[in-house]
Every structure is written in structure tokens, then in C-alpha cells.
Amino acid sequence: MGLVTSTEMFKKAYEGGYAVGAFNVNNMEIIQGIVEAAAEEQAPLILQVSAGARKYAHPVYLRKLVEAAIEVTGLDICLHLDHGDDFEICKTCVDSGFTSVMVDGSKHPFAENIALTKKVVEYAHDHGVVVEAELGKLAGIEDDVNVDTPNATYTDPDEAVEFVEKTGCDSLAITIGTSHGAFKFKGEPRLDFERLYKISDLLPGFPLVLHGASSVPKEFVDLCNQYGGQIPGAKGVPEDMLRKAAKSGVCKINIDTDLRLAMTASIRQVFVENPGWFDPRQYLGPGRSAIKAMVAHKIKNVLDCSHKR
């Protein structure tokens, strides 16, 4: 048990046609909810820390909490930097014990993305740390994305091959129609599976990553709205599309929004139903349980990685 890289996890996932969940963590209750589910399901696990999470909780708290989670559950956990913007943030995370970093150079021109990623790969590999890179721009969230012409921002299969060869990255986040947050599609959900198949055919055995892969389940959106929330029109990636992607080289599926929805829905409900309560444990406890149930559902029904650790 301990902090591990994702290398073995991805190898087994690729061969088994399933995916490993990468869940964003921001505080103790979120970490506890996720690891309790992963321990019960004996699932492989990636916990990821964004720049926003580092700012909110301080990276040392988050790393120590993940170490505590390993000690308590006996799990192997990959501790991953989510969307590292530049070399410095990646280096800081490598130096402080992360086992995986993402260098997100997707906002840069192709050659600059290659140069930045290669530099991070060289440093990380020297320190036994693996690197996820990104090619293509996720609609709606990344800089300079024109959502009206999505194809211009989707990952080009031939460029993906050149990028992987030139950078030596260990996994690649691709763009096929997913996006971050709770409002992913205006009309019917659609992913460019032909593009995914082309990329995975050209990169056999190579782990691909899907960002923006929350499903935004209607029941949790409705629950939020029922208890005073206002998130009309929220829509995510249907679960069957994620299961299909996991069979075609997608080994890591990123989930943050669905944890936020589950935790917020349960806390809203507690507040409305118990106006006299003011002990944070009375609402953070149910929030943690909601995270646990959501992660268990993902492991069993979406990622298909139960008992795969």
C-alpha cells in the first residue's frame, strides 16, 4: 500500500477494457467519501488536485490527508496534479511527493505544447513520476475555444501520434466533445467516437484520458433545485458513452462536478429539513456519505473497476 504511479493501473485498465476514476479532492470529507467507496469496492484510485484545490486547502493539507487515507484504508493511491499550467507547478508537485502530474499545454500552439510537455516529462521521469499531457481544447472552459466550431478544437489523431512520440508523455487527455462543469451540452449529448477510435487505433496500448466526464445525474440536479438550488438546464455525459469510451483506450475518467452536485444536494436537504442544526458534522457527514455513494456508483456502473486493484 502507498502512493503509486498510474502505470500499472492503466496497463490493467487498458487490457481489461475498463477505466480508473480520477476524482478531484478539496477537503477531508471529500477524500474520506471517495476512499471509503474505493476501499469497499477494492478499486484502483486516482485522487487529483487542481490549482484551485491547492489554493483552497493548501497542498500540504491535501497530501497529508491522502497519506492518512492510505494508512487508514490500506489502498494504493495515485496522487495526481490536475491541469498543471507550467513547468514550475509540475516541478513543485513532483518534488513534494505527487506520483503523477498533468501538464496542460493545450492552450499553447502545438510546438510550444510539445516543448513544455517534454520538459516536464524529462524532470518527472527522472524522479519516478508519470505525466499526463493534453492535446485539443475542451469546449466552454479552455481559453480561446470557439464553441461554434468544435471540430477546430478537437484532438487531431495524426497530431496525437506525433505529440506522444515527441514528448514521451505517459497518457494523453483528448478532446472529443466533453467539457468541464455542469452544462456540457445545449442539445443532445454527442461525443466524436470516430475520432476516439482513430486515435486509439493509431496509439495501440497507449492510455487516453477523458476530462469533463461527469454525467450530471438528473436526480441530483433535481434534488439541489428542490432544496433551493438554481441550476436549471444542467447536462452531462451519458453513462453509456463513458462505458463505451473505456472500451476504446480511455483508461482515466475525470470526475469532479458529480461529487460537487452530490455533496451540495445532500447538504441543502439537511439545511432545509433541519433549520435548527448548526454543528458542521451534521451536514458534512451526510455530504461525505453522498460522495461515497456517488463514487461507489461510478466504480460499479460506469468505470467497471470494482475488484480491479
Ligand X SMILES: O=C(CO)COP(=O)(O)O
Q: Minimum distance between the CB of residue 273 and ligand X, rounded to whole angstroms?
A: 27
- The contact pattern for Zn ion, residues 252-291, with x = CB under 5 A and - = no contact, is ----------------------------------------
Our CB check for ligand X shows the closer of 32 and 214 to be 214
Interface positions, 72-131, toward Zn ion (CB under 5 A): 104, 106
DSSP the chain: -EE--SHHHHHHHHHHT--EEEEE--SHHHHHHHHHHHHHHT---EEEE-HHHHHHH-HHHHHHHHHHHHHHH--EEEEEEEEE-SHHHHHHHHHTT-SEEEE--TTS-HHHHHHHHHHHHHHHHHTT-EEEEEES--TTTSTT--TTSGGGGSPPHHHHHHHHHHH--SEEEE-SS--SSSB--SSS----HHHHHHHHHHSTTPPEEESS-----HHHHHHHHHTT---TT-B---HHHHHHHHTTTEEEEEE-HHHHHHHHHHHHHHHHH-TT---HHHHHHHHHHHHHHHHHHIIIIII--TT--
3-state secondary structure 208-269: EEECCCCCCCHHHHHHHHHCCCCCCCCECCCHHHHHHHHCCCEEEEEECHHHHHHHHHHHHH
| Site size with ligand G3H, rule: CB under 6 A | 8
Q: Which of 113, 108, 182 is nearest to 141 (CA)?
A: 182
Does 184 help bind ligand G3H (rule: CB under 6 A)?
Answer: no
255 binding ligand X? (CB under 6 A): yes
Four-residue CA torsion sign, 97, 76, 14, 298: negative
The single residue among 63, 184, 195, 211 that binds Zn ion, judged by CB under 5 A, is: 211
Rounded to a whole number of angstroms, the minimum distance from the CB of residue 11 to ligand G3H is 25
106 binds ligand X per the rule CB under 6 A: no
Looking at the Cβ atoms of 27 and 50, the one nearer to ligand G3H is: 50
134 scored as a contact of Zn ion (CB under 5 A): yes
Minimum CB separation from ligand G3H for residue 50, in Å? 4
* Interacting residues with ligand G3H between 246 and 305 (CB under 6 A): 256
Q: Is position 82 annotated as part of the catalytic site?
A: yes
Residue (270 or 294) nearer to Zn ion, CB: 294
Residue 52 binding partner per list Zn ion, ligand X, ligand G3H, none, with a CB distance cut-off of 5 to 8 Å that depends on partner kind: ligand G3H
Q: Is 104 in the site for ligand G3H (CB under 6 A)?
A: no
Q: Please choose, out of 45-53, 186-194, 291-299, 300-308, the segment that lies near ligand G3H by the rule CB under 6 A.
A: 45-53
Map residues 176-205 to x or -, x wherever contact with ligand X holds by CB under 6 A. Answer: ----xx------------------------
Per-residue x/- track, 187-226, ligand G3H (CB under 6 A)? ----------------------------------------
Tell me the closest approach of the beta carbon of residue 94 to ligand G3H, in angstroms.
20
Q: Contact at 8 Å (CB) between 256 and 291?
A: no
- Name which of 36 and 104 has its Cβ closer to Zn ion: 104
Query: For binding to ligand G3H (CB under 6 A), which residues are involved?
Result: 24, 50, 52-53, 82-83, 180, 256
